[in-house]
Structure 1
Amino acid sequence: MPLAIQLVTGPAGSGKSTYAHILQQHCLSLGPRHRRRIHIANLDPAAESFRYEVSFDIRDLISVDDVMDELKLGPNGALVYCMEYLLENMDWLQENLEEFDDDEYLIIDCPGQIELYTHIPVMNKIIDQLRLWGYGDNMVSVFIVDATFVTDVSKFISGSLLALSAMIAMQLPHVNVLSKCDLVEEASMERVLEMESALQLWDVLGDNGRNDSPAAMFGSRDLTVEQSGVVEKAAERERKWNRLTEAICSLLDDFSMVGFIPLNINDEDNISHVLATVDHAIQYGEDLEVRGADYDDDVGEMAE
């Protein structure tokens, strides 16, 4: 089996680097029969630091700080320039990928700017090149969403749309992961995840159930003609937004393409479940040879 690749994407600050680090440490902690070595590469030229052991780093090729200093670009413009520079120097990426043996496992920590996946075809071109190099059947996209979104229904629906957009753009086997579940009240998260549909989620927990609508705020208070007009316009605007949100929820429900797996970094069983789900997306491990004692000893030394 060729090199297996996870492309870890998601908004900035969602926990992509932490996800990669936790999987790497988790696999080193397993028993000899299940232990595996996970390599991690950084493909974010704006990264500052990370806890995982890095196999190769795009900042050795180009970095956002250098581009900002030399070309006087802003952070976003510098990031786009860096990724386009990578496209022009894909031999650098190919040489690094060829350092890995077959049956090995690589997590690529990608940039957090969502525009790179939805508006600018940079990541699509990188993925297309990886397919040409023979990695197409062994790549999976993992989209990370911050679980604190669960506490706000509007943000959760927005995160679902981002996940759907990335999935459509990248055209890879896709797994959505809710990170930082250890920071969210478990009952609140389960209440959202157990909802049967996005539309039901909006009806039960969304703005429809709030009491801060324009009419509710003013109640039966005596209003001038001008004030009544303002309230009526605000109420109409709210009704339009509610109809739009309901249409979006219906879209998510009709295709049933967005689901999330919660990740609690303090729960080893949960980490194993997340990893197994991602592995299943590309059938990783089904044709692997049994590891010998030399491999087990070698990995054991890495864990010490």
Structure 2
Amino acid sequence: MGHCVIQLVTGPAGSGKSTYCHIMQEHGLAMGPKHRRRIHVANLDPAAEHFRYDVAFDVRDLISVDDVMDELQLGPNGSLVYCMEYLLQNMDWLEENLDNYDDDECVILYLIIDCPGQIELYTHIPVMNKIIDQLRMWGYNHKMVSVFVVDATFVTDPAKFISGSLLALSAMISMQLPHVNVLSKCDLVEEASMDRVLEMESALQLWDVLGGDRASSDGGSILSSSPFRNQLQPPIENSTKQNSSTARRNNRERRWNRLTEAICSLLDDYSMVGFIPLNINDEDSISHVLATVDHAIQYGEDLEVRGADYDDDVGGEVE
């Protein structure tokens, strides 16, 4: 075993992991003759319902969230954790499926694994860590890369963007793999707004510039524009109570701001979190993301050079 490279596509639910897998599979076949590759995609999400990519193998053939919910009367989150723990107890199933796609010593298989969207699996529940440890034992130690997908709509809100950065950092530390962060759904976000955030030199600068803008735009806007503003004003005799309440609120906001600044400083001090934008409608963007992931795993360095007459035959297990 161990003649394939593996992308583990992780990230929050709804961030676009399955779309990422589909786009990469199509892009692999659309690349030029010298670089074309067949990318296999496996589903490791027991809660998946449908996907557009061609499935190499599917964990739902072993166990699914729907079956667990029906038989054990668990909720969706508990059922997902149960399914992943069941997979850990039956890793021979995963080993057998990997063997089916990894039995040719002459070629390097490119496999993308679409992982579950429950973020706890990558932060504090050690399920994914144990699966990765088992993959290392099977010979994939230096052939795995984690691709953490975050919704680009987070870019429009500094607080959400910093939160997404912390999630990415937590997953990277927990999984202990070469790590690439991808901003998905960039086609749904105004390019100028996204570039403004990505061009910031630090998280602290991001919060100082955009966080302050958000606070000023939010604060008092509803009250000042409300036709009931006069009715909402407290009586004069309650001004002391109002001043006390305002002081407490201002003190709470100062403490929250100090906490946010400390978190931003943490991200800046280690400079370990960066994002690559992915626009599924832009071939250059897709190529850039794939090239970055390939570089992280050093894919292609040990491949044989192919001539220009390499034809459209991608039926075999090409890279």
Smaller-chain TM-score bracket: over 0.9
Q: SS at 1:82's partner residue?
A: helix
1:22 equivalenced with 2:23 (yes/no):
yes
Match of 1:145 in 2: 150
1:183 equivalenced with 2:198 (yes/no):
no
TM-score, with length taken from structure 1: 0.94
TM superposition shift of 1:210? 2.5
> Structure 1: 5+ residue runs without aligned partners?
none
Q: Distance in 1 between matches of 2:158 and 2:219?
A: 16
Match of 1:260 in 2: 275
Whether the aligned pair in 2 keeps the contact of 1:35 and 1:296 (CA below 8 Å) is no
Q: Which residue identity does 1:18 align to in structure 2?
A: T
Select the residue among 179, 197, 210 that pairs with 1:174: 179
TM superposition shift of 1:263? 0.2
Match of 2:65 in 1: 64
Q: Which residue identity does 2:126 align to in structure 1?
A: P
Cα 1:37–1:58 shift into 2, 3 Å: same
1:236 equivalenced with 2:246 (yes/no):
no
1:224 equivalenced with 2:224 (yes/no):
no
Select the residue among 113, 119, 122 that pairs with 1:108: 113
Q: Which has the larger radius of gyration?
A: 2
Match of 2:162 in 1: 157
Q: SS at 1:210's partner residue?
A: helix
User: What are the superposed Cα offsets for residues 62-103 of structure 1, whole Å, 9 maximum, x if unpaired?
Assistant: 000000000000000000000000000000000111112341
Whether the aligned pair in 1 keeps the contact of 2:47 and 2:116 (CA below 8 Å) is yes
More moved, 223-232 vs 183-192 = 223-232
Q: Which residue identity does 1:276 align to in structure 2?
A: A
Whether the aligned pair in 1 keeps the contact of 2:34 and 2:310 (CA below 8 Å) is no
Moved over 2 A (4+): 207-214, 290-298
Match of 1:80 in 2: 81
Q: Distance in 2 between matches of 1:47 and 1:225?
A: 56
Cα 1:140–1:236 shift into 2, 3 Å: same
**Percent identical across equivalent pairs?**
78
TM superposition shift of 1:297? 3.7
1:125 equivalenced with 2:113 (yes/no):
no
Q: Which residue identity does 2:10 align to in structure 1?
A: T
Select the residue among 262, 265, 269 that pairs with 1:250: 265
Cα 1:289–1:113 shift into 2, 3 Å: same
Q: SS at 1:137's partner residue?
A: coil
TM superposition shift of 1:7? 0.2
Whether the aligned pair in 2 keeps the contact of 1:208 and 1:242 (CA below 8 Å) is no
Q: Distance in 1 between matches of 2:311 and 2:89?
A: 39
Q: Distance in 2 between matches of 1:177 and 1:81?
A: 28
1:275 equivalenced with 2:290 (yes/no):
yes
Q: Which residue identity does 1:168 align to in structure 2?
A: I
Q: Distance in 1 between matches of 2:30 and 2:97?
A: 26
TM superposition shift of 1:33? 1.1
TM superposition shift of 1:290? 3.5
Aligned residues: 301
User: What are the superposed Cα offsets for residues 132-154 of structure 1, whole Å, 9 maximum, x if unpaired?
Assistant: 00001000000000000000000
> Structure 2: 5+ residue runs without aligned partners?
225-232
Q: Distance in 1 between matches of 2:142 and 2:69?
A: 37
